[in-house]
Amino acid sequence: MQEYLHNLALRLARIQPLVVLAGLAALLAAGSFALNPKLAGDRYLIPTILLCCWCLLVYTLINMFCATPPSLARTQGFFRRLAVRFQRLLRNLLALCFLGLTGALLVLSYKLAVTGVG
C-alpha cells in the first residue's frame, strides 16, 4: 500500500503547483461567497469548500508520500533497521488514515452531488 501511494505521489508531483493554485482560488472564492451577501450564497459556497478539501487532500498525498523510507537491508545495523521499521509503521498508519479520509470525502462528495447542492 505504501509503495502504491508513493508511486501515485510521484506521478502527481508534477501538478502540485496547479493543485496549490486551485486550492487557494477555491479558498478565496469560498471566503468571498461567505462574506458577501450579494453573491450567490450557498449555491457556490459548498462546491468551492469541497474543491478546497480535494486540493488539500491531493497536496497532502504529494507531500506525505513522495519520500518514503528505504526498505530494510541486512547489512544495516540493528538500530538503523529498527528506526526504518518504525518509520514504515508510522507511514502505514498515516496511509490508513489518509485512505479513510479519502473515503469520507468521496462519500461527502457523492451525498452533496445526489442532493443537488452544487
For residue 23, the model assigns a pLDDT of 95
Q: What are 22's three cell numbers? A: 486551485
Task: Look up the domain containing 21 and give its range.
Answer: 2-115
pLDDT of 118 > 70? The answer is no
> What's the confidence (pLDDT) of residue 26?
94
pLDDT tens digit string along 9-38? 999 999 999 999 999 999 999 888 888 877
- Measuring CA to CA, how many Å separate 72 from each of 29, 54, 75, 95? 46, 34, 9, 19
Q: What is the pLDDT of residue 24?
A: 96
H helices of the chain, in order, are: 2-12, 16-35, 42-65, 78-115
Looking up cell 496511509 gives 95
Note the pLDDT of residue 54: 95
What distance in Å separates the CA atoms of residue 62 and residue 8, rounded to the nearest whole number? 8
> Tens digits of per-residue pLDDT, 37-93?
777 556 788 888 899 999 999 999 999 888 877 777 677 788 888 888 898 899 889
Tally of domains in the chain: 1
Q: Which pLDDT score, from 0 to 100, does residue 53 have? A: 94
